[in-house]
Structure 1
Amino acid sequence: MFSWLSSVTGVGSASPADEDRGDEAGAAAAGGGGGGGGGGVSSDGELPPQPSTPMTPGSDMSGQMAGMLGRAQLLEFFQQNMELFDVPEVKKRLSDAVRAGRDPAAVTTELQEELLMAMGIEPKFGIECLGRVSFCFKDDREVMLKLYELMAKEELACDEAELGPKAFAEKMEQMRKAQEQQMVLLKQLQKQPIEAQREFLSSLYSQSQVRNPQGEATMTSQEIWDFFQEQHRQRQPHQPQHAGRQPNEQQFNSGLRQGPGAELHQRC
């Protein structure tokens, strides 16, 4: 079931528990006719590896609590899961699902279950643990960053499957431009006093709530820039704007073409 994935990413290798069981079986077989010497010798003249305690889900040395995947297991899973979304076979699998009328998110869950199984983790248990990561590891910066990175990667993989290569590339370009515009705004905002920054962000949030009380308001970069300029004028009503003090609209846009995707999302 997972062989095509193993050849690309190596995630289909045996789990530590499988290796341990294999070692134990090998030691028993080799020592069966070896007498009381305390363990047989393999055919190539080497002693079999000493068996260790099989690892069960949540029992690795960095585990945080019983009944939960350990830190090392989670980080390994996050990394391998993110790598899967770059595998051509996975991209095709997601695209085929969309063409068949399936939700690509359901396919990503299937992929996660297959990956968990390949890691020697019971899929249902593993999926349940993933739903508790943000609670159990809320103070672990590395784990939380990897979790959010995986979530973003999964969302983009589903978008690519639904939009197709061309439309997805256009969306990514729009996102890149929007991020550049927002960085310009951020740099200008950082030049303001802390209290002015707080006032602007609070006012911007209030403005977004007026647009959409549901908390999903969206403002274009142009609208945010206009709002920023208005807030600046209100703070300095008697001081004329001087060239060089604040960039004009053209400087803010930095030559970037405005598009429907140039948006900054404000969420509660």
Structure 2
Amino acid sequence: MSTPAPSLPGGTWPLGDLTVTRFGYGAMQLAGPWVMGPPTDREGAVAVLRTAVDLGITHIDTSEAYGPRITNELIHEALHPYPESLHIATKVGATRDEQGGWPVARRPEDLRRQVEDNLKSLRLDALDLVNLRLGNAEGPQPGSLASAFETLAELQQKGLIRHLGVSNATAEQVTEAQSIAPIVCVQNMYNLAHRQDDRLIDHLATTGVAYVPFFPLGGFTPLQSAALSAVAARLEATPMSVALAWLLRRSPNILLIAGTSSTAHLRENIAGAGVSLSAEDLTELNEISR
């Protein structure tokens, strides 16, 4: 495996037998508006992916549902044949409808088809990491994941998946998944203002399981806080830079997959995540969620 670029903040973390940079890249924003259709600037989207790898990022997050198919096709176009150091994570458990919704698709036959579709569009023989998407657009929902996760575990045993994870999951669903097969990550919504998973993050850190926050900067509603702005002004940094830096400081098992469709913004995110936060800064930032 090649050595990641030293400029990437946060170092690395193991996903099972894979090693990834804690600063990764989320490909969702490469699709068109509201994650539907192709990008307006396809060459620019390809350039972002190539720049991410050139800068040393070894963890890219995607899904066949993005576009749908668009981000996977862009990843293949930009990066195939893939460097040995690059690891691609994807999600299954939901599809897209013509209105841009995310219908649940977690029946065994749905999941098998989605895994096959990901393999085909990414041109892979096996997927490095597959996260089972649970809940709905409003967040995690209680209920058993056994049937769906057992299906993915069977596909893993067949050699089509290397590692498993869960997304948009409750703590109880994480425990249930671990009773069926080992997981290497949990991917939930989490950021400075939404810290409902604090206990889960700390528990996962003690067991070597990664936590991958989606919407680390607030998603479609960017983070806004007087305290965040004050710390950023004091550090002569942007609020978004401080929010990313805080996540890397929050716990060593947190992996960032902040997305962007701009190479300049990608470089800004990397530089920003490396901002040094003092104990005073952290105390002030930790008050935001309260």
Structure possessing the higher radius of gyration over alpha carbons: 1
- Say which structure is richer in helix: 1
TM-score range, shorter chain: under 0.3
Higher RCO, 1 or 2 (CA under 8 Å, sep at least 6)?
Answer: 2
* Structure (1 or 2) with the greater strand fraction: 2
Give the TM-score normalised by structure 2: 0.20
